[in-house]
A and B are shown apart, each in its own frame.
Chain A
Amino acid sequence: MHKDNQPLIFEMTKEGRVGYSLPELDVPEIDLNDILPAGLIREEAADLPEVSELDIMRHYTALSKRNHGVDSGFYPLGSCTMKYNPKINESVARYPGFANIHPLQDESTVQGAMELMFDLQEHLKEITGMDEVTLQPAAGAHGEWTGLMMIRAYHESRGDMNRTKVIVPDSAHGTNPASATVAGFETVTVKSNEHGLVDLDDLKRVVGDDTAALMLTNPNTLGLFEEQILEMAAIIHEVGGKLYYDGANLNAVMSKARPGDMGFDVVHLNLHKTFTGPHGGGGPGSGPVGVHKDLIPYLPSPVLVKTDDAYTFDYNRPETIGRVKPFYGNFGINVRAYTYIRSMGPDGLKAVTEYAVLNANYMMRKLQPFFDLPYDRHCKHEFVLSGRRQKKLGVRTLDMAKRLLDFGYHPPTIYFPLNVEEGMMIEPTETESKETLDAFIDAMIQIAKEVEDNPEIVQNAPHTTVIKRLDETQAARKPVLRYTKTE
């Protein structure tokens, strides 16, 4: 990485330079004053950069060199499934017939796009074991909220107005309780037991006739399969609640167990995780939602249906929760996910899960002697180590994460889930080779040894990055959220 600070694009500005080539204005010019009301014509131009095209390319190329992606190196960020993003996906999504079509064109002119969406829905139904799928939600959290709104509509349609509570495990993703709040529910936390799984006794304690739903990730955020899933489903269903599946960890169970068969009523998927989105530096994602047949009437409108001779959007959905997004979802991401599924096929998706889980277990066992492993059993696609042994020697998990940067790795997810002290959540994915895993394992072991022999090198890490540790307290206390020109 380059050590010199890259100036802001605004600092490269020179009056009079341009980087654009607009179409020729081939109609008569007009005076805006003749058309726009006084006071609505902009007086002072927005202070955007004035740079040439080469300036722009150099700037963003320099920025890209100061960024680490999956193509740059190993990225075992737990819970995020940072697998390889196939290039064919990028090409297909850019076909003019997919990239340059308008969502409000007559349906007869976009049948190819609708066919792709429909077939993707069919594939996702089979993969999840659900009865219907909507592609409308834009991301995982958006899907969570959509699913919860459907559950709410379901209960209310039956005159069951007092189901105000959504139960989430203490190990859940932060989006689960946040989505519950946005959907108008109160969150109740259910504890994990000593095995890292949901404590059934505690679950029985917190359920009741006010339970709207239980949100569950399976395998959970510790990478452990909730073995008592059928018992949990029975507990929830007996009190009239619904079971919600957070699909963030679907990469761990494809072709091994389907949410629909486990008793889940609603499922959201993160197509940017399991189905190679890509992540885009934080988005865009896509968060389709699958439902059990009981919930079909409440799906967001419109619903894509296939008639004898065409695909069409059905807007006649009297019980729908309404729209959750303008148009039909993040189509461009859905094209990528569809291309991926079609590249893998049934045997490919099965191998994906098997190798993702094999890789994770291999790493876990190789690292187990050097770090604490709070839950010692086979994991699924990810596992969580604890840095409490190292903490006693004065080195925190944060320090070890920063030290990994010196080896060219993106660190694991740290301090999550919340029920593991000094947690490090490692997810290798199936697209990494054994050589890559071995090199990372060696780096981790070396760091563990450094903690014992030379803790300062870890505590003061990183040493090789373009910038050292940043002052986050200052950033929050005196927020500077935009550039301001200094005269």
Chain B
Amino acid sequence: MKHRYLPMTAQDEKEMLDVIGIQSIDELFADIPEKVRFKGEYKIKAAKSESSLTKELAQLAAKNADTNRYASFLGAGVYDHYKPIIVDHVISRSEFYTAYTPYQPEISQGELQAIFEFQTMISELTGMDLANSSMYDGGTALAEAGMLAAGHTRRKKILVSRAVHPETRDVVRTYALGQSIAVEEIPLKDGHTDLEALKEMIDGDTAAVMVQYPNFFGQVEDLKALEPIIHEAGALFAVSANPLALGALTPPGKLGADITVGDAQPFGISEAFGGPHCGYFAVTKQLMRKVPGRLVGETVDEDGRRGFVLTLQAREQHIRRDKATSNICSNQALNALAASVAMTALGKAGAREIAVQNITKTHYMKQQLKGAGFDVIFDGAHFNELTVKTKTPSKKLNARLLEKGMIGGYDLGRSYPELEGHTLIAVTEQRTKEEIDAFVQELAAAVQEMGATHA
């Protein structure tokens, strides 16, 4: 058959068959037992030409409400941030995206150096000694932190704050199940991890305590107050941190975290319906040899010139097999590159400025909501997220907001029964004053309208 990806010609085929000494390609499949041989062709859609396929798929894409057309006030772990245009130009260079894992360092120095730089930037932001080359996402990274802690401390219990993203907590539980590790949830107090409850729950069998910084409600957890409670019990302190927030917040590494993980999606990575994003994994030097996944290290070549290689591979599955620190193989290298470009573009000044802008605009939204009579609960410092009492199901409010060109917030009743009738609203530096004002106005109008019919 003729296809633009398949260069085989009839003449090629004949010459190859002659070399092999067979008459037809079918003979190469004669070792497949007759009973299991698939006959005919798959019952799937027929091939489409480039033009007609792009047309069809563009129409399919157009059915979705995207942030090019709508102002988004939805966050809950995935954010619409400034994405420097150069990010896409860099990751579109096919020397990067058509390569595989840099197992041959002599022809992979570009990738290796880019990852080494990524590791450095994540270390800088988190204040940790070192970071790996990436994980699937922030959720699985926190789950792997739990596995590391259980292995390191030889303890069998993890305490995870209820202020950690609900889907991340779900993933932690699934991983823990495999390792027969118990997971207990630390209750909330005013939208923060309840320190008193933690003191009651933590004991000599606790491997790790996990919190999110800022947490799911956008509240800034007091890591300083958490640290002594955790370390006195001999547990590891695992923090899931939004790296963009760390431009303005004291990094977990300076506040006693043993493991800091998270997702670099806020740095130049598309929301893409939830993936692929880019988990990161950073630790203290003490835990270096327990880290999951790939690490790039600096070394020299035979002439003494600086170069980079994958290193400490004795931790990994392709060497250690069933004794590896994790089963991870493929990671999110290309998205780590995207995040590196965004972090580089923002740089020393921009990383702080963007974080401050997010705090400032979230604060502005809070003032406007309060001014319009809304009850914004959890009164700590807010980063990106605000918990607003609407009494009305978010789904209905969001349908109305959509008509006005806006994507509304996250229905907290979905994962916190006690927060039924509350919506989690996100503001990033991308939202203008005009959009925020319009949102508050429309939300008020919608609540009033629905309230009238639901009273």
A-B interface contact total, Cβ < 8 Å? 705
List, in ascending order, chain A residues with CB within 8 A of B320's CB.
174, 178
Q: Give 5 A-B pairs besides A256-B32, A256-B37, A286-B276 with Cβ atoms closer than 8 angstroms.
A: A48-B344, A66-B113, A84-B5, A100-B68, A139-B329
Which of B194-202, B355-363, B370-378, B447-455 forms part of the interface with chain A?
B355-363
B345 adjacent to A67 (CB under 8 Å): no
Which of B204-212, B228-236, B425-433, B438-446 forms part of the interface with chain A?
B425-433
List, in ascending order, chain B residues with CB within 8 A of A282's CB.
100-102, 111, 133, 294, 330-331, 333-334
CB-CB contacts of A169-190 with B at 8 A, as 1s and 0s? 0000111011111111011000
List, in ascending order, chain B residues with CB within 8 A of A331's CB.
272-276
Q: Is B190 an interface residue (CB 8 A)?
A: no
Nearest 3 pairs between A and B by C-beta? A327-B274, A345-B47, A97-B61
In the assembled complex, the Cα of A325 lies from the Cα of B27 at a distance in Å of 43
Q: Is A326 an interface residue (CB 8 A)?
A: yes
A-B contact pairs, 29 of them (CB 8 A): A1-B107, A25-B357, A32-B359, A36-B381, A45-B247, A60-B93, A70-B98, A72-B94, A98-B64, A100-B67, A100-B272, A101-B64, A111-B63, A142-B136, A227-B33, A282-B111, A283-B335, A284-B335, A326-B139, A327-B273, A328-B273, A329-B274, A347-B41, A351-B1, A361-B16, A430-B5, A481-B116, A481-B130, A483-B120
B249 adjacent to A40 (CB under 8 Å): yes
List, in ascending order, chain A residues with CB within 8 A of B298's CB.
475, 480-481
In the assembled complex, the Cα of A92 lies from the Cα of B55 at a distance in Å of 10
A25 shortest CB reach to chain B, Å: 6
Q: Is B248 an interface residue (CB 8 A)?
A: yes
CB-CB contacts of B1-24 with A at 8 A, as 1s and 0s? 101011110001101110111000
Q: Is A26 an interface residue (CB 8 A)?
A: yes
Q: Is A191 an interface residue (CB 8 A)?
A: no
Tally of B interface residues using CB under 8 Å: 208
Which of B73-81, B153-161, B384-392 forms part of the interface with chain A?
B73-81
B280 shortest CB reach to chain A, Å: 13
Interface range on chain A: under 10, 10 to 19, 20 to 34, or 35 or more? 35 or more
Q: Is B251 an interface residue (CB 8 A)?
A: yes
Q: Is A297 an interface residue (CB 8 A)?
A: no
List, in ascending order, chain B residues with CB within 8 A of A69's CB.
94-99
* CB contact list, A13-61 vs B, under 8 A: 13, 17-23, 25-30, 32, 35-37, 39-43, 45-51, 53, 56-57, 59-61
In the assembled complex, the Cα of A245 lies from the Cα of B256 at a distance in Å of 44
In the assembled complex, the Cα of A333 lies from the Cα of B276 at a distance in Å of 7
Q: Is B203 an interface residue (CB 8 A)?
A: no
Most buried by B among A75, A93, A97, A350: A97
A102 adjacent to B67 (CB under 8 Å): yes
Q: Is A257 an interface residue (CB 8 A)?
A: yes
List, in ascending order, chain A residues with CB within 8 A of B248's CB.
32, 41-42
A50 adjacent to B347 (CB under 8 Å): yes
Q: Which of A72, A112, A345, A411 contacts B64 (CB 8 A)?
A: A112
**A332-B275 contact in complex given A22-B429, A56-B86, A346-B44, C-beta closer than 8 Å:** yes
Which of A199-207, A352-360, A446-454 forms part of the interface with chain B?
A352-360
